Structure 1
Amino acid sequence: MTIPSLARYSLTAAAALALAGCAGMGGKSVEKLPAADASAQLVDARGADRGRADFYKTTTGLRVELVARGFAAGTYGMHIHTVGRCDAPDFTSAGPHWNPTGAQHGRDNPMGAHHGDLPNLVVDEGAIGRATLTLVGTRLTGDGGLIDADGAAFVIHAGPDDMKTDPSGNSGGRVACGVIELPAQ
């Protein structure tokens, strides 16, 4: 799985949002952004809104657009987990990281990475956490797809992922979780 640096993700998302905001100026009609192919509404243990992850099919895999609200400044591990359940308070119902190839955890682990391993989310003081992620070679549904019979979840952890320690990168407890769902038909 190839994932460029998180700094590039943040800049890409910020630029897209800035352009979207400018497009609505001047009373001209605004073209609607495409609807997400799947999404995960993130909540904390109290059920409070902590953001959203939208998934879009691309020619090379999936693009994930993340907005994370209510997080203190810091670095947080993010992962896709194998089960589409987010039972509070600890979200362990989401199961382990999505790992269809049986790899170990972490991009810096010579035996890794899981398909569910993602870069860390960095939240600046007074800011909303934003990231654009590319999951190369990943399908949303179908054989080997992200959403299978028991679903999948997007999880944000309490601390940074060290990108090498199996099975979870020492990223701490699960502080926000959202079931990845297809849009209603």
Structure 2
Amino acid sequence: MIRLFAPVAAAFFVTACASTPTGPSASAQLMATQGNAVSGQVQFTQKGDKVLVTGEVRGLQPHTEHGFHIHEKGDCSSGDGMSAGGHFNPDGKAHGAYAQPEHHAGDLPSLKADANGTARISFESTTLSVGSGKTDVLGRGLIVHRDPDDYKTQPTGNSGPRMACGVIAKN
């Protein structure tokens, strides 16, 4: 029975994986801004009409929440991360929660640090793309903020200073 099942199961998994083709990918190495110790790595992988965002951010205060956004410019040259500009917003929408229909393309789910000060990221986005279109993340900045996003204050969410900055670059 097991010998019969194994080939069928393998064929199912191969078919399931083939139905979601993987396209271009990019990543950002997050580096701490001046006076902070936050770092991490985030990957962006195009899968059909969605982008899978995965990664890890370390050096956060345990059990805290932090605003997390893609910003206009892939420039982390200033010590405070302000050189990355404002939120990435190619459609001119109001700032809002990632899960709501109205939000900037760059509005991402907030980071939630565990007891060790590490936040793990894994979600799919239909408002981003990798390598083409007006919502392309390549060359943009990725920012971790000190405070939680209130999802109301325009245009930033009142997330406070920038604790880490990274440039999203093609893999």
Give the TM-score of the pair, scaled to structure 2.
0.77
CA separation in 2, counterparts of 1:136 and 1:111?
11
Percent identity of equivalent pairs? 36
Map residues 111-150 of structure 1 onto 2, 5 A cutoff: 112-147=102-137
SS of the equivalent of 1:103 reads: coil
Which residue number in structure 2 is paired with residue 42 of structure 1? 30
- Report the Cα distance in structure 2 between the residues aligned to 1:171 and 1:115, rounded to whole angstroms: 17
Structure 2 residues not aligned, in runs of 5+: 1-21
Does structure 2 retain, via aligned residues, the 8 Å contact 1:81–1:94? yes
The 3 A distance-change label for structure 1 pair 137 and 115 is closer
Deviation at 1:96, TM superposition (A): 0.8
TM-score by length of 1: 0.72
What is the Cα deviation at residue 99 of structure 1? 0.5
Structure 1 or 2, whichever has the larger Rg, is 2
Cα deviation, 1:35-93, whole Å, max 9, x if unaligned, reads: 98100000012596700111111112211102001111111000001111112311111
Superposed structure 1 runs of 4+ greater than 4 Å apart: 46-49
Greater fraction strand: 2
Counterparts in 2 of 1:54-93, with a 5 A limit? 54-73=43-62, 74-93=64-83
CA–CA separation in structure 1 for the residues paired with 2:152 and 2:77: 27
Which amino acid is the alignment partner of residue 37 of structure 1? Answer: S
Give the RMSD, CA atoms, in angstroms. 2.5
